[in-house]
């Protein structure tokens, strides 16, 4: 849940003074129930990405509250870590969100580092399972992002988001950077994974 969320970007430094801060979010409130998909639709520059990133903790809020399971996540350390383990994000550009120096297997495995109680063998098995779920054969684990098409890279980004089996996923225009012919495939995959695993989703789109 988001309550009266406000985000201000600091002003730019001029020669002798600093310009006024720019308000990107003006008191936004919304709720996403367990297993629900909520769409946020708006034009370019309307603050959609800022909203998603602030909910994910990547942009600092200037005011308001973000709650997970009824607890403010930035005012309680236990609630914060519970939220961080249960919240994942799929970014708009699959290429810039993937480290080009890491193999696909390592990229998908990375979110499992902080999962308590998982052995190395279990993590390897989970990565292989998720790659199959998103339509990538196990052989893709040894490839690098530059060796994949745009649609395949976005499948990797989705695999990274769901590999930990989170309860909440933020999808920031996950198909806008893809060819039209690939968009429907990725959207269908995303919907299938949501039905299978039951995670809640905040789906950001301009369409």
- More confident: 5 or 75: 5
Return the DSSP state at 122: H
Give dist(CA 194, CA 200) in Å, integer. Answer: 8
For 61-111, write each residue's pLDDT tens digit.
889 999 998 888 877 778 888 888 899 999 888 778 889 899 999 999 998
Confidence band, pLDDT 50/70/90 cuts, at residue 126: very high
Q: Please say if the pLDDT value at position 151 is more than 90.
A: no
Q: Please say if the pLDDT value at position 58 is more than 80.
A: yes
For 64-75, write each residue's pLDDT tens digit.
999 998 888 877
Q: Which residues pair with 30 in a beta bridge?
A: 2
Going edge to edge, which strands form the sheet with 2-9?
22-30, 2-9, 63-68, 71-72
Return the DSSP state at 13: B
H helices of 75-198, in order, are 77-86, 104-109, 120-133, 150-162, 180-197
Q: Which residues pair with 3 in a beta bridge?
A: 65
Given this model, what pLDDT does residue 114 score? 77
36 token code pair: 């629900």
Q: Which residues pair with 39 in a beta bridge?
A: 203
Among 51, 3, 49, 47, smallest CA distance to 29 is for 3
Return the DSSP state at 45: T
Give dist(CA 160, CA 91) in Å, integer. Answer: 11
**pTM for this model (two decimals):** 0.86
**Residue recorded with tokens 């695999």:** 159
Q: What is the mean pLDDT of residues 171-176?
A: 86
Instruction: State how far the alpha carbon of 110 is from the alpha carbons of 33, 83, 146, 165, 166, in Å.
Output: 28, 17, 18, 13, 14
Confidence band, pLDDT 50/70/90 cuts, at residue 184: confident
SS3 state at 32:
coil
């Amino acid at each position: 849940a988001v309550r009266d969320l406000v985000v201000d970007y600091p002003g730019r430094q001029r020669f002798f003074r600093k310009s006024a801060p720019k308000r990107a979010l003006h008191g936004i409130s919304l709720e996403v129930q367990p297993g629900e998909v909520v769409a946020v639709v708006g034009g370019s520059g309307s603050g959609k990405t800022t909203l998603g990133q602030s909910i994910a903790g990547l942009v600092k809020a200037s005011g308001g509250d973000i709650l997970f399971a009824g607890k403010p996540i930035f005012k309680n350390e236990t609630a914060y870590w519970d939220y961080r383990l249960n919240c994942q994000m799929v970014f708009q550009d699959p290429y810039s969100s993937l480290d080009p120096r890491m193999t696909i297997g390592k990229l998908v495995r990375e979110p499992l580092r902080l999962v308590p109680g998982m052995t190395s063998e279990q993590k390897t098995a989970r990565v292989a399972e998720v790659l199959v779920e998103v339509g990538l054969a196990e052989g893709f684990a040894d490839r690098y992002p530059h060796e994949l098409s745009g649609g395949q890279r976005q499948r990797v980004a989705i695999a990274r988001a769901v590999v930990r089996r989170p309860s909440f996923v933020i999808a920031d225009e996950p198909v806008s950077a893809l060819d039209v012919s690939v968009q429907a495939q990725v959207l269908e995959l995303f919907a299938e994974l949501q039905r299978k695993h039951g995670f809640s989703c905040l789906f950001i789109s301009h369409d």
